[in-house]
Structure 1
C-alpha cells in the first residue's frame, strides 16, 4: 500500500510510521523537520520523506500523489494548523482520487452522553476548561463530514505515553463508558488497523481502556 502520513514525527504518528514500514508499506511522510526522520529513511528503503508543510497546498498535493490512503495525526499546534490544513488534504485527495483518510482527533468532539445534542467539549461531561484544541478538531470534523471521502476520526481520551496492551474499548460517536485514558501505542495500533478495515467509515470513534 502507498500510505501518506501527516504528523509522522509526533507521538502517535511515530508509532504508526514504524508499524507501517515494518509491514512493508510504502510510506510518504511530509515533515517540516527532515532531521527527525533521517534515521528511519536510512533504515527503510520504502520511506519517502518530503520536506514541506500541510499549510502549503502544493506540498500536500506532492505528498498525496499516487497514494492509496492518508493518515493524519496532526495536532492543533496551538493555532489553526489543523483547520487550515484539512482543506488542503481534502482538495489534494479529491484531485488524486484518493478516498480513504483516517485522522486522530480528541474525545472532546464525540457526542455527550449527558447532553446528546452537544459534543463532549461543549457539555459538562468534559473536565477541560480550555476548549481551543477541541474547537480546532471540531472544525476539522465538520470539514471532513462535508466531503465524499471515506473518513474516520479516532478520538482518544487522556493520552499518556504508556505501553502497548492490545486491549481497549471502542465505540462509534461516543467515548466508552467511564473511559479515562488510552496509551499512545494502543491509539496508534487501532488507528493503523483501520487501514485494513471497512468499519467506522464516515464516523468518529471513541477509544479508551
Structure 2
C-alpha cells in the first residue's frame, strides 16, 4: 500500500512511519522542516498541510492518507493551535478530495471521547482548562466528519489520556466513543502500540466513517 503520512516526525507520526515501513508499505512522509533518515520504501517531503494545492498534488497516486499533524503546544498557545488545526484540516480534506483519493485516517485528540455518560473528556472537571481551545477544535473536526461535510472515507482515531514512549506489545483494547480505562482506572497506551492500532485499521477498514480509540 502507498501511504501519504503528515506529521511524520512527531511523537506519534514517527511511530506510525516505523510501523508502516515494518509492514512493507511505501510511505511518503511529510514534515514541515525535519530531515528524515533515508530508508527503503520511504520518500521524504517538506510540505505545508495547510496548503490545499500542495496537499492535492502530493496526495495524488496514493492509496491512503494518515494525518498525525499537531501544531505543538510547546510552540503555540491553545488558541493559536486551535486556529492552526482549523486551517490545516480544511486544507487537508479539500486537497485530498481534489486528488481523487478518498481514504484518510485522522489522528485526533482524547477530548471528544466520553468520560462518563453524557460528558466528554474536554467538558469534564479533570481536563486542563489551558488545553480546551485546541481540544474543542479537534472535537468540531470529528463532528464535521460525522456530519458528512467532507465526503471522504474517513476514520478518526483518539488516543487515551496518556500516550508515551513504551514497549511495542500488540496487546490492547479497542473502543469507539467512550474513554477506555484499565482495572486500575488508568487510560494509557504506548506510542508504538497506538501505531499498531492505526495500521491495523488502515489494512482492515473496520472503522470507516467512524471513530475508534485504543488503550490497555
Please tell me the TM-score bracket, short chain as reference.
0.7 to 0.9
State how 1:119-138 maps to structure 2 within 5 Å: 119-124=120-125, 126-130=126-130, 131-138=132-139
Q: What residue is the counterpart of 2:180 in the other structure? A: 176
Residue 69, structure 1, aligned to residue 67, structure 2: no
SS of match in other structure, 1:53: coil
Q: Give structure 1 regions of 4+ aligned residues with deviation exceeding 3 angstroms.
A: none
Are the counterparts in 1 of residues 57 and 99 from structure 2 also a CA contact under 8 Å? no
Query: Over aligned residue pairs, what C-alpha RMSD do you find?
Result: 1.8
Instruction: Output the CA distance in 1 between the equivalents of 2:186 and 2:63.
Output: 33
Are the counterparts in 1 of residues 6 and 13 from structure 2 also a CA contact under 8 Å? yes
Are the counterparts in 2 of residues 83 and 139 from structure 1 also a CA contact under 8 Å? no
State how 1:74-89 maps to structure 2 within 5 Å: 74-77=69-72, 78=76, 79=81, 80-89=83-92
How far is the alpha carbon of 1:142 from its aligned partner?
Answer: 2.9
Are the counterparts in 2 of residues 179 and 208 from structure 1 also a CA contact under 8 Å? no
1:20-44 superposed Cα distances (whole Å, 9 cap, x missing partner) = 2233322112211142x1x1x2x32
Name whichever of 92-101 and 185-194 sits farther off.
Answer: 92-101
Q: What residue is the counterpart of 1:6 in the other structure? A: 6
Q: What residue is the counterpart of 2:46 in the other structure? A: 51
Are the counterparts in 2 of residues 69 and 98 from structure 1 also a CA contact under 8 Å? yes
Q: Structure 2 length normalisation: TM-score?
A: 0.85
Name whichever of 163-172 and 131-140 sits farther off.
Answer: 131-140
Instruction: Output the CA distance in 2 between the equivalents of 1:33 and 1:6.
Output: 12
Q: What residue is the counterpart of 2:206 in the other structure? A: 199
Are the counterparts in 1 of residues 31 and 47 from structure 2 also a CA contact under 8 Å? yes
Name whichever of 4-13 and 56-65 sits farther off.
Answer: 56-65
How far is the alpha carbon of 1:14 from its aligned partner?
Answer: 0.8
Instruction: Output the CA distance in 2 between the equivalents of 1:34 and 1:165.
Output: 28
Q: Structure 1 length normalisation: TM-score?
A: 0.87
Residue 99, structure 1, aligned to residue 102, structure 2: yes
How far is the alpha carbon of 1:136 from its aligned partner?
Answer: 2.6
Instruction: Output the CA distance in 2 between the equivalents of 1:198 and 1:59.
Output: 26
Name whichever of 171-180 and 4-13 sits farther off.
Answer: 171-180
Are the counterparts in 1 of residues 85 and 134 from structure 2 also a CA contact under 8 Å? no
How far is the alpha carbon of 1:66 from its aligned partner?
Answer: 0.8
Instruction: Output the CA distance in 1 between the equivalents of 2:172 and 2:46.
Output: 35
SS of match in other structure, 1:107: coil
